[in-house]
């Protein structure tokens, strides 16, 4: 039984963890335990009360509430703030009842005076060791305004000092991993950009001394693709808690009588096995429960953007497609430049039909050609955007996000369609539906190349601040409807690279274009950060010509082969010999693809470490096989000097200890002599000597007998 209830205490158990909440003696719904699963119900602590401190602070400030309203002498971060119709801004949530239905617990809270109800939903994901939480706010009284409605407040055990890990960055430098100690106060990571953003990711871990494979880690993520906020708070009474949800910045939502507001879900988990296990739990969850096409392996694609930019037509694309097909590529994607009036980034967005000058007979001749070469065909779209120089904008200038008395700030010469409007949603559904219905298109790269400015929605009057949520709901509706109508299409979420990467968009998109930065060395860091939160199956990675004179084709391939492999270089500039080598690497990728895309990831040597090496290991679910990627970078100082001297660093080879193998089984590893036990490879390990800027893939195979 994953959830048990006793004396107003609820114990949520997963395979290895437990999460306990309950009513304390004052009747407040508080958090009691989050950690390793214990043998019996009686082993878990009671819901905590608080000790009187002084007349300056009330008990509600001290105890770890599951979902705090703003009331009393309580100054910690609330989960929910509202203004009632009569102007009262005080929220007194009391317990009403709770229901357990299998893996789902709903706790009903109610305001002491007003007919406002809050449902706290908890769902256990037993095999993934995760708890999923969200809240529903219902109003049966006069219209009120919600000013903040978080998804969850995650409480860490009291009396310890924690370190927070988070991802931050910017365009071409997404998913940079930071770890920093928390001190009293509130540390905020957030997006105010309408979308998830390149700048921060809705993900966290908390630890007090964990390493990659050891130690306690509490972690979580938010399934939302709009403005979000993470408030990491250490109270003046030694409690650490993380509040996570839709950003309250510039947000207000009018909740009429009989209406309900549902927050996005947040998942959280606990492990004793370090940051690696935290990532693996999220990866498994995303693969099994989030990704729309589940575990089906992604095809190797070619994308024409870096080769032809806006200059696409049947001939240029066919030339590339022929070369791509000969290399074993399975999916040919034509990027930007194919639609009405699109010769540069200053026109065309919004007019989603083929440009008659470039494609006088439509897209069909090209698609037929690509299909005849044995490849699927994919297309680039940027549905949420419009160039002022487009038929769509000329017909509907009122459809963009704007304030009537303010200039409409353009970025990349484009404005954002207001997807909060149902007419805009319907237009997009219709135009993209027709495009997909008329063509054999099986892949869409869905791009978004700017962030918001002047966030106005004039028609909504006083409800304009709902745009932050209604836009995202509109996006989900458009994308979801198209998915339903075209279930065979694979969708990629791109926002100038990794600007929209979260568990919310992955219910619609099958994969994410992690960054416009395709320099292999930068990618090692970007992919390392991405992998903290999301699995390799959701990470599209290309081999391009960026820094090709300094970084070998093999190295560039090996970096991209750690995710979903694609090629984005200009094949017309690749020599025949290079294309032949690339074809071999594509074939090798196809062999290891099930292990990379569906396997368990162990990050053996982090690119953040001082080591010149970086290494990752992917282990198949049945532990019969693994793939190890090893990279040798050139560091500074003596390293840079040595690179000019020695082919191979005489000081130290990469020393690797594998993980995740069956200790008793025997495995053979490429270039490592006779088979040894899994335990030997995990404890004694192996060494891999590599030259400067060299890389290697090792296959690990269980041997029978």
Instruction: Indicate which residues carry an active-site annotation.
Output: 447, 516
Q: Is 380 in the site for ligand GLA (CB under 6 A)?
A: yes
Round to whole Å and give the CA distance between 614 and 604. Answer: 7
Token pair belonging to 571:
């094949």
Torsion of CA 614, 620, 624, 626, to 10 degrees: -20
CB of 385 to ligand GLA, least distance (A): 10
Round to whole Å and give the CA distance between 379 and 490. Answer: 11
The single residue among 2, 341, 348, 497 that binds ligand GLA, judged by CB under 6 A, is 497
CB of 9 to ligand GLA, least distance (A): 49
Residues 6 or more apart in contact with residue 181 via CB below 8 angstroms: 161, 162, 163, 164
- Interface of this chain with ligand GLA, residues 254 to 313, rule: CB under 6 A: 305
Q: Is 522 in the site for ligand GLA (CB under 6 A)?
A: no
Residue with tokens 């909740």: 255
187 neighbors 243 (Cβ within 8 angstroms): no
Round to whole Å and give the CA distance between 216 and 135. Answer: 27
| Beta-ladder partners of 605 | 615
Taking each helix axis as running N to C, give the angle between helix 364-372 and helix 314-326, from 0 to 180 degrees, rounded to the nearest 10: 10
CB of 705 to ligand GLA, least distance (A): 49
378 neighbors 331 (Cβ within 8 angstroms): yes
Identify which of residues 447 and 625 has a Cβ nearer to ligand GLA in the complex.
447
Sign of the alpha-carbon dihedral angle for 276, 180, 191, 306: negative
Identify which of residues 518 and 531 has a Cβ nearer to ligand GLA in the complex.
518
The single residue among 494, 509, 586, 654 that binds ligand GLA, judged by CB under 6 A, is 494
| Residue closest to 46 by CA, chosen among 69, 75, 24 | 24
Q: Is 111 in the site for ligand GLA (CB under 6 A)?
A: no
Round to whole Å and give the CA distance between 629 and 609. Answer: 16
Q: Is 213 helix (H, G, I), strand (E, B) or coil?
A: coil
CB of 518 to ligand GLA, least distance (A): 9
Residues 6 or more apart in contact with residue 495 via CB below 8 angstroms: 195, 196, 198, 447, 448, 449
| Beta-ladder partners of 498 | 495
Q: Which stretch binds ligand GLA (CB under 6 A): 99-107, 190-198, 253-261, 490-498?
A: 490-498
Q: Is 383 in the site for ligand GLA (CB under 6 A)?
A: no
CB of 348 to ligand GLA, least distance (A): 11
Identify which of residues 220 and 337 has a Cβ nearer to ligand GLA in the complex.
337
Identify which of residues 335 and 466 has a Cβ nearer to ligand GLA in the complex.
335
CB of 575 to ligand GLA, least distance (A): 25
CB of 256 to ligand GLA, least distance (A): 40
Q: Which stretch binds ligand GLA (CB under 6 A): 122-130, 231-239, 489-497, 661-669?
A: 489-497
The single residue among 496, 569, 612, 678 that binds ligand GLA, judged by CB under 6 A, is 496
Q: Is 378 in the site for ligand GLA (CB under 6 A)?
A: no
DSSP secondary structure string for all residues of 496-521: TBBSS-STTGGGT-SEEE-BS---HH
Q: Is 449 in the site for ligand GLA (CB under 6 A)?
A: yes
Q: Which stretch binds ligand GLA (CB under 6 A): 84-92, 273-281, 493-501, 668-676?
A: 493-501
**Ramachandran bin of 472, using left for φ above 0, alpha for ψ from -120 to 50, beta for the remaining angles:** alpha
CB of 296 to ligand GLA, least distance (A): 23
CB of 243 to ligand GLA, least distance (A): 32
**Ramachandran bin of 425, using left for φ above 0, alpha for ψ from -120 to 50, beta for the remaining angles:** alpha
The single residue among 516, 519, 600, 617 that binds ligand GLA, judged by CB under 6 A, is 516
- Interface of this chain with ligand GLA, residues 12 to 31, rule: CB under 6 A: none
Q: Which stretch binds ligand GLA (CB under 6 A): 190-198, 386-394, 491-499, 518-526?
A: 491-499
Round to whole Å and give the CA distance between 77 and 92. Answer: 15
Identify which of residues 335 and 384 has a Cβ nearer to ligand GLA in the complex.
335
Identify which of residues 495 and 531 has a Cβ nearer to ligand GLA in the complex.
495
CB of 204 to ligand GLA, least distance (A): 26
Taking each helix axis as running N to C, give the angle between helix 553-560 and helix 520-533, from 0 to 180 degrees, rounded to the nearest 10: 10
Identify which of residues 60 and 497 has a Cβ nearer to ligand GLA in the complex.
497
Identify which of residues 447 and 554 has a Cβ nearer to ligand GLA in the complex.
447
Q: In the complex, which residue's CB is closest to ligand GLA?
A: 336
Total residues in contact with ligand GLA, by rule CB under 6 A: 10
Identify which of residues 261 and 332 has a Cβ nearer to ligand GLA in the complex.
332
| Burial of residue 185, with CB atoms counted within 10 A of its CB: 0-12 exposed, 13-18 middle, 19 or more buried | exposed
Q: Is 447 in the site for ligand GLA (CB under 6 A)?
A: yes
Identify which of residues 93 and 494 has a Cβ nearer to ligand GLA in the complex.
494
- Interface of this chain with ligand GLA, residues 317 to 346, rule: CB under 6 A: 335-336
Residues 6 or more apart in contact with residue 3 via CB below 8 angstroms: 10, 11, 12, 13, 100, 102, 103, 104, 105, 122, 124
Residues 6 or more apart in contact with residue 296 via CB below 8 angstroms: none
| Residue closest to 180 by CA, chosen among 192, 170, 168, 190 | 168
Identify which of residues 514 and 688 has a Cβ nearer to ligand GLA in the complex.
514
Q: Which stretch binds ligand GLA (CB under 6 A): 419-427, 477-485, 494-502, 667-675?
A: 494-502
Element (H, E) at 673: none
Token pair belonging to 247:
């950003």
| Beta-ladder partners of 139 | 116, 259
Which stretches of the chain bind ligand GLA, using CB under 6 A? 305, 335-336, 380, 447, 449, 494, 496-497, 516
């Amino acid at each position: 039984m994953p959830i048990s209830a006793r004396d107003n205490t609820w114990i949520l158990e997963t395979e290895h963890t437990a999460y306990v909440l309950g009513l304390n003696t004052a009747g407040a719904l508080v958090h009691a335990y989050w950690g390793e699963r214990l043998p019996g119900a009686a082993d878990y602590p009671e819901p905590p009360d608080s000790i009187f401190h002084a007349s300056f602070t009330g008990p509600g400030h001290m105890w770890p509430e599951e979902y705090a309203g703003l009331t009393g002498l309580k100054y910690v971060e609330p989960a929910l703030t509202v203004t009632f119709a009569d102007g009262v801004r005080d929220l007194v949530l009391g317990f009403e009842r709770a229901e357990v239905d299998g893996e789902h617990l709903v706790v009903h809270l109610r305001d002491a005076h007003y007919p406002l109800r809050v449902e706290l939903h908890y769902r256990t994901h037993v095999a993934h060791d995760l708890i999923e939480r969200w809240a529903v706010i219902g109003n049966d009284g006069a219209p009120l305004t919600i000013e903040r409605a978080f998804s969850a407040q995650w409480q860490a055990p009291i009396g310890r000092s924690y370190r927070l890990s988070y991802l931050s960055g910017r365009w071409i430098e997404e998913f940079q991993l930071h770890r920093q100690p928390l001190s009293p106060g509130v540390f905020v990571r957030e997006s105010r950009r309408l979308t998830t953003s390149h700048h921060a990711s809705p993900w966290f871990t908390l630890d007090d001394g964990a390493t990659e494979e050891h130690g306690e880690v509490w972690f979580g993520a938010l399934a939302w693709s709009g403005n979000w906020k993470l408030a990491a708070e250490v109270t003046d009474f030694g409690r650490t808690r993380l509040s996570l949800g839709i950003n309250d910045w510039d947000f207000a939502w009018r909740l009429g009588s009989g209406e309900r507001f549902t927050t996005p879900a947040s998942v959280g988990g606990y492990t004793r096995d370090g940051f690696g296990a935290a990532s693996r739990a999220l990866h498994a969850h995303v693969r099994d429960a989030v990704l729309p096409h589940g575990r089906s392996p992604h095809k190797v694609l070619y994308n024409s953007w870096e080769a032809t930019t806006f200059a696409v037509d049947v001939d240029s694309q066919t030339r590339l497609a022929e070369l791509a097909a000969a290399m074993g590529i399975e999916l040919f994607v034509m990027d930007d430049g194919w639609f009405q009036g699109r010769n540069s980034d200053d026109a065309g967005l919004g007019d989603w039909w083929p440009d008659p000058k470039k494609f006088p007979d439509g897209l069909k001749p090209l698609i037929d050609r690509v299909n005849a070469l044995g490849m699927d065909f994919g297309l680039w779209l940027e549905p949420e955007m419009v160039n002022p120089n487009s038929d769509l904008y000329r017909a509907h200038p009122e459809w963009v996000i704007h304030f009537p008395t303010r200039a409409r700030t353009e970025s990349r010469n484009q404005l954002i369609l207001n997807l909060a409007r149902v007419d805009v949603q319907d237009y997009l559904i219709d135009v993209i539906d027709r495009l997909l219905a008329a063509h054999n298109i099986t892949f869409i790269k869905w791009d978004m190349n700017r962030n918001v400015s002047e966030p106005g929605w004039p028609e909504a009057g006083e409800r304009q601040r709902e745009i932050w949520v209604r836009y995202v709901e509109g996006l989900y509706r458009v994308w979801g409807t198209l998915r339903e109508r075209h279930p065979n299409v694979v969708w990629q979420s791109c926002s100038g690279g990794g600007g929209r990467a979260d568990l919310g968009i992955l219910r619609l998109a099958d994969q994410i274009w992690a960054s416009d930065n395709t320099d292999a060395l930068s990618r090692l860091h970007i992919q390392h950060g991405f992998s903290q939160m999301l699995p390799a199956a959701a990470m599209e990675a290309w081999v391009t010509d960026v820094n090709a004179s300094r970084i070998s084709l093999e190295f560039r391939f090996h970096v991209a082969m750690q995710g979903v492999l694609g090629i984005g270089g200009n094949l017309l500039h690749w020599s025949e010999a290079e294309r032949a080598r690339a074809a071999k690497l594509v074939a090798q990728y196809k062999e290891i693809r099930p292990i990379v895309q569906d396997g368990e990831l162990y990050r053996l040597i982090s690119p953040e470490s001082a080591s010149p090496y970086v290494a990752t290991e992917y282990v198949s679910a049945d532990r019969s096989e693994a793939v190890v990627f090893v990279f040798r970078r050139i560091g500074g100082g003596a390293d840079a000097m040595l690179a000019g001297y020695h082919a191979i660093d005489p000081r130290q080879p990469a020393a690797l200890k594998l993980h995740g193998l069956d200790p008793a089984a025997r495995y053979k590893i490429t270039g490592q002599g006779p088979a040894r036990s899994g335990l030997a490879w995990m404890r004694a390990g192996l060494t891999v000597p590599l030259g400067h800027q060299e890389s290697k893939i090792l296959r690990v195979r269980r041997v029978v007998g």
